[in-house]
Amino acid sequence: MEQLLGIKLGCLFALLALTLGCGLTPICFKWFQIDAARGHHRRVLRLLGCISAGVFLGAGFMHMTAEALEEIESRIQKFVVQNRSTSERNSSGDADSAHMEYPYGELIISLGFFLIFFLESLALQCCPGAARGSTVQEEEWGGAHIFELHSHGHLPSPSKSPLRALVLLLSLSFHSVFEGLAVGLQPTVAATVQLCLAVLAHKGLVVFGVGMRLVQLGTRSRWAVFSILLLALMSPLGLAVGLAVTERDSEGGRGLAQAVLEGVAAGTFLYVTFLEILPRELASPEAPLAKWSCVAAGFAFMAFIALWA
């Protein structure tokens, strides 16, 4: 038991150190600032951005969404079985079967997607100048006219919305807490080490991508560092909670609420991935096949890690 506790504490510090190291690297080194890059340096940063976009896409589908769907289905089945009486089972078996077959997981993930869609639409409705302000920021930060929302003859593309950056951090924070919780709840040393290594393998790339995203958004260094620090604390927090949770606490209504929160976080993450990250990285027409290859490589890595995560 003491050995298992020591391994879990080691995993806690490993998660904290890796997240801080990978997240702060693009923030602390000016080499990753694309605004000052030119020529080959700029192309390399663009391709790194495409790899991070593929990583986000893979994290959204192969990890966050997959885990949320599995957890929601499991919790709903357990909740329905526990609250179904014998008379209901005998009298309405067909209704129960239909009730179980409804895609609740997909519905909850979609609600997370539409929640952020609504909040962003509400913000634009209440503050009409936000769209123009975002466009001006885009011109100042990126210097590329393909991102202008008001220019003639150009397709609209995502602005550098602070709301989307906040949503990205919040959704990843929720997911990080649940990842740490899963590690903390493992019953054996082998299971703990295996899951922790899988989490470390994909978390490093994801957090590195977050750091690059904050730099590209023009976030001030102190706020970017503060954001990475908060994100780094989420997995250790979840692991610490997992150490304190008993088997009875992980069942029932609390487990269902946790599954719903994870589903909403997955939906918000997909919203930011498809409406902010991917369109921005693929907006410029240069080297389309190279960009596709980088996005596919990032996704393939996350799909490979999903074999163990």
For the segment 221-241, the average pLDDT, to the nearest whole number, is 85
The per-residue pLDDT of the chain, averaged, comes to 75
* C-alpha–C-alpha distance, residues 13 and 11, integer Å: 6
Alpha helices (H) along the chain? 2-28, 39-58, 66-82, 86-91, 93-101, 104-126, 129-142, 162-184, 189-216, 221-244, 253-272, 278-282, 288-305
pLDDT digits (tens, 9 = 90+) for 37-78: 677 888 888 888 888 889 889 888 988 888 888 888 888 887
Taking a C-beta distance cutoff of 8 angstroms, is the pair 290, 47 a contact? yes
SS3 state of residue 249: helix
Taking a C-beta distance cutoff of 8 angstroms, is the pair 267, 110 a contact? yes
Q: Which pLDDT score, from 0 to 100, does residue 163 have?
A: 65
Percentage of the chain exceeding pLDDT 90: 6
Q: Which pLDDT score, from 0 to 100, does residue 99 have?
A: 54
Q: Which pLDDT score, from 0 to 100, does residue 88 have?
A: 57
pTM beyond 0.75: the answer is no
The alpha carbon dihedral of 178, 182, 184, 190 has a sign of negative
CB atoms within 10 A of CB 176: 27
SS3 state of residue 297: helix
CB atoms within 10 A of CB 10: 13
Q: Which pLDDT score, from 0 to 100, does residue 129 have?
A: 55
Higher pLDDT pick, 200 / 33: 200
pLDDT digits (tens, 9 = 90+) for 147-170: 333 333 444 444 455 666 777 787
Give the list of residues 6+ apart from residue 4 with CB closer than 8 angstroms, or none. Answer: 188, 189, 192
pLDDT confidence band for 299 (50 / 70 / 90): very high
The alpha carbon dihedral of 10, 13, 19, 20 has a sign of negative
Q: Two tokens at 50?
A: 């495409």
What is the largest distance, in Å, between two alpha-carbon atoms of the chain?
73
b/e code 177-190 from CB counts within 10 Å (16+ = b) = bbbbbbbbbbeeee
pLDDT digits (tens, 9 = 90+) for 71-126: 888 888 877 777 765 555 555 555 555 556 788 889 999 998 998 888 878 877 78
